[in-house]
């Protein structure tokens, strides 16, 4: 049985590249295009891993992670934070 990854990302080009790469590595990938959808999908069918863009519409990745951690059904799912933002010295 394939491991399932929830990819929470709002940029179509990034979704395409990341989804293809994850599938090549053997993962089953579902996509959420905003934080609210990520929370809903994680709860409906808990994945093995969530790759979460931190800057998304409707609910950002920070807020979505809080909601996911507060739900007993999803609280132990690993969340990998992903962002295109960079900070000097960071």
Tell me whether residue 52 is in a domain. yes
Checking if the pLDDT of 83 tops 90, the result is no
Checking if the pLDDT of 90 tops 70, the result is no
Tell me whether residue 3 is in a domain. no
Q: How many other C-beta atoms can be found within 10 angstroms of the C-beta atom of residue 43? A: 13
**Residue closest to 58 by CA, chosen among 32, 80, 83, 76:** 32
Tell me whether residue 88 is in a domain. no
Tell me whether residue 64 is in a domain. yes
Q: What total of structural domains would you count in the chain?
A: 1
Tell me whether residue 44 is in a domain. yes
Burial of 38 (0-12, 13-18, 19+ CB in 10 A): buried
Q: What is the DSSP letter of 26?
A: T
Query: 10-24, 61-75, 76-90: which range is least confident on average?
Result: 76-90
Query: 48-52, 63-67, 80-84: which range is least confident on average?
Result: 80-84
Tell me whether residue 90 is in a domain. no
Tell me whether residue 63 is in a domain. yes
Tens digit of each residue's pLDDT (9 = 90 or more) over 24-37:
999 999 999 999 99
For the whole model, what pTM was predicted?
0.90
What was the pLDDT predicted at 1? Answer: 81
Q: What is the DSSP letter of 25?
A: T
Structural domain boundaries, residue 57 = 8-78
d(CA 56, CA 83): 10
Give 45-75 as a DSSP string. S--SEEEEESS-SSS-HHHHHHHHHHSTTTT
CATH code (residue 45) = 3.40.50.2300
């Amino acid at each position: 049985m394939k491991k399932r990854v929830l990819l929470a990302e709002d940029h179509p080009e990034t979704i395409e590249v990341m989804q293809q790469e994850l599938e090549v590595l053997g993962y089953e990938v579902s996509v959420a295009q905003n934080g609210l959808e990520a929370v809903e999908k994680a709860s409906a069918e808990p994945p093995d891993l969530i790759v979460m863009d931190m800057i998304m519409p409707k609910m950002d990745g920070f807020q979505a992670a809080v909601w996911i951690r507060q739900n007993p059904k999803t609280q132990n799912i690993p969340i990998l934070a992903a962002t295109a933002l960079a900070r000097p010295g960071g």
